[in-house]
Copies of this chain bind each other. A is one copy, B any other.
Amino acid sequence: MTSPSKLQELINQRLQELNFSGDPATLYEPIRYMMALGGKRIRPVLVLMGTELFKGDLKQALSAATGIEVFHNFTLLHDDIMDNAPLRRAMPTVHAKWNSNIAILSGDAMFVKACQLMMDVPDHAVRKVMEVFNRTALEVCEGQQLDMDFETEPSVNIDRYLDMIRLKTAVLVGCSLEVGAIIAGADDKAAQHLYDFGVNLGIAFQLQDDILDVYGDAAKFGKQVGGDIIANKKTLLLLYAIASASGDLSVELANSLLMPVDAANAYQKVEAVKQIYNRLNVREYAETQMQSSYELALTHLDAIVASQEEKTALRELAKSLMIREH
């Protein structure tokens, strides 16, 4: 078994070898910049762990692993344009540093690069890998579109929200693990269980994100606590609060959401909404939902017939993603 940090090192090494240079520089420099912003490389590590789980050869999975990471970064690059985000990892986003046109086009080129890397798998795996990858890529687009739609939709129900985070975030986690399993030659049933483990883990992870945004420790969270509240983002917490508040509390919530926010009163708005959340036991509800996705993930892992040692590695990684503070 290879430790996650060693796997991460393998990924970063391969990403460096890939280099992403080419002509014109205006197309390739933003790609290099984006890939150099770093990150925990969780998805490609999961590809490699999926391969190791079924005693596959890591070398055969390394291209696809980096392909998943390039794809993920492509989605971030285009999302940043759509969200008009100025910063990513405390650095200017590509569209802010260059311009939107360059960001659109270098994103497109990254997607092609990702496809090239995904094709670099053993013959037996090509069709299955590309099928899972393409289906997932389409779902990620659907998830991003739903997320944008929700901004202007007057009422979003919780099931639809859960579906959105499944598509936007969770399926790529499942896809990463399944691609690794396919490369190692896992049977379809085992690969499916590993996919389902990943998807449910991904959902739990995103719900954890929603919770930490409100209840995280400001010192450890790394971004502004309450950012979702300030932006009136329709997270699980807010949607549950809207659905369960009634009478005066409902009016109070509506008024809090309508508070115009500037630097001076942002804290006040966050506190007002948080108090309402507390009275509605929103945190408990969200944690129960998160816990139930997490446990569902583990039942899928349990259902896989594979090396206990490797399953333990995945279980540990899952746990570390859940008991994080940022």
Q: Is the CB of B108 within 8 A of A78?
A: yes
Which of B27, B113, B127, B146 makes the CB contact (< 8 A) with A24? B146
Q: Is A240 an interface residue (CB 8 A)?
A: no
| Chain A interface mostly | helix
User: Which of A133-141, A177-185, A270-278, A296-304 is near enough to bind chain B?
Assistant: A133-141
Q: A138-B112, A138-B113 are in contact. Are A24 and B78 (CB under 8 A)?
A: no
Q: Is A42 an interface residue (CB 8 A)?
A: no
Q: Is A187 an interface residue (CB 8 A)?
A: no
CA distance A148 to B105 in the complex (A): 10
Which of B23, B101, B119, B134 makes the CB contact (< 8 A) with A142? B23
Q: Is the CB of A127 within 8 A of B119?
A: yes
Q: Is A82 an interface residue (CB 8 A)?
A: yes
Q: How many copies does the complex hold?
A: 2
A129 CB → nearest B CB, Å: 10
Q: A119-B127, A126-B126, A130-B119 are in contact. Are A142 and B78 (CB under 8 A)?
A: no
Q: Which residues of B contact A145 (CB under 8 A)?
A: 24, 26-27, 102, 105-106
Within 8 A of B (CB), among A97-111: 100-102, 104-109, 111
Q: Is A188 an interface residue (CB 8 A)?
A: no
Q: Is A244 an interface residue (CB 8 A)?
A: no
Nearest 10 pairs of A and B residues by beta carbon = A27-B145, A109-B141, A82-B101, A112-B137, A112-B138, A116-B134, A24-B145, A115-B134, A119-B130, A108-B141
Can you pick out 25 interface pairs between chain A and chain B where the beta carbons lie within 8 Å of each other? A22-B142, A24-B142, A24-B149, A26-B148, A26-B149, A27-B141, A78-B104, A78-B105, A78-B108, A82-B101, A100-B100, A105-B145, A107-B108, A108-B108, A108-B111, A108-B141, A109-B138, A112-B141, A113-B138, A115-B115, A115-B134, A115-B137, A116-B134, A119-B127, A119-B131
A interface, CB within 8 angstroms of B: 22-24, 26-27, 78, 81-82, 100-102, 104-109, 111-113, 115-116, 119, 126-127, 130-131, 134, 137-138, 141-142, 144-146, 148-149
